[in-house]
Amino acid sequence: MIFLLLFLFQNGYAYQFPTASQQLYCNRIIGDRNHQTVLFTRPLQNGDMITWNGTVVSAASIRYSLYNGDQIPFHWRQDLPAQHTIFNNFVGRWGTEAYGPSFYQIGQPYQVSVKLVGNQFQAFSNGVLLYTFPVRSAVDNIVALDSVGSVVINWIEMECANPPFTTRAPRPSRRPRRDHGGHGHGGRGGHGRFSSSGSSSDESC
């Protein structure tokens, strides 16, 4: 983590110590996180997907990156009004650029996603797969992202392939116990109704 923060500082990225509600863990965080680093509660896993929802403000560069320590296994950039997107990775230095289709339009809303699937990153626009970028470096400890560009971000979401489960404690029965006149059987009362289910907030995946 220290190496990540040092790398971000040296490269001019803003960092604010996040509260739990500002960290991604199979949930959605609301608010404009542009020019901010967002940490993950646990590393990105195979099958997990990150989605950004927002609006492009003006013609300028839009850049999103995923961090594995001081490495960037996935980086995409579109320099509007150019109608192509640049994909790359960073391990001590930038790799060879790869080119894909446009994901953003000036003045238009957008919803873009990146999903780690095996040895590749899949890039989506509005749920449609537009480009596949091969994994070039370690992806076992992707724990942060940053978003920089001429955009307003509405929310960022992590959709987990293996989301956490929570169980509600069973509630005691409120059914009154029946009295059968001293026979000592207790009738049908007293068994109670118990329920347990995986639950999540409206903002969870």
187-204 pLDDT, tens digit per residue, is 443 433 333 334 343 433
| Percentage, residues of the chain above pLDDT 90 | 66
Grade residue 107 by pLDDT with cuts at 50, 70 and 90: very high
CB 56 within 8 A of CB 125: no
pTM of the model: 0.71
155 pLDDT more than 50: yes
pLDDT for the residue 2: 44
**CA 107, 77, 35, 124 torsion-angle sign:** positive
Topology classification of domain 2-159:
Jelly Rolls (2.60.120)
Bond prior to 73 in cis (omega within 30° of 0)? no
Does 80 score more than 50 pLDDT? yes
Sheet holding 109-117, edge to edge: 28-30, 151-159, 49-56, 109-117, 120-125, 128-134
Domain boundaries, the chain: 2-159, 168-205
Q: Looking at residue 163, what is its pLDDT?
A: 87
pLDDT of residue 125 exceeding 70, the answer is: yes
- Contact criterion met (CB below 8 Å) for 66 and 4: no
Confidence of residue 165 (pLDDT cuts 50, 70, 90): confident
The answer, yes or no, to whether residue 104 has pLDDT greater than 90, is: yes
Model pLDDT, residue 166: 57
Do 163 and 26 touch, CB atoms closer than 8 A?
yes
Average pLDDT (82-90) is 97
Nearest alpha-carbon partner for 32 in 154, 146, 144, 145: 154
Q: Judge contact between 46 and 117, C-beta under 8 A.
A: yes
The pair phi, psi for residue 198, each rounded to 5°, is -70, 130
The pLDDT of residue 176: 52
Residue 195, pLDDT score = 36
**Mean pLDDT estimate for the chain:** 80
- Beta-carbon count within 10 A of 107 CB: 9
Contact 4, 67 (CB under 8 A): yes
Render pLDDT for 26-77 as a digit per residue (tens, 0 to 9).
Answer: 999 999 999 999 999 999 999 999 999 999 999 999 999 999 999 999 999 9
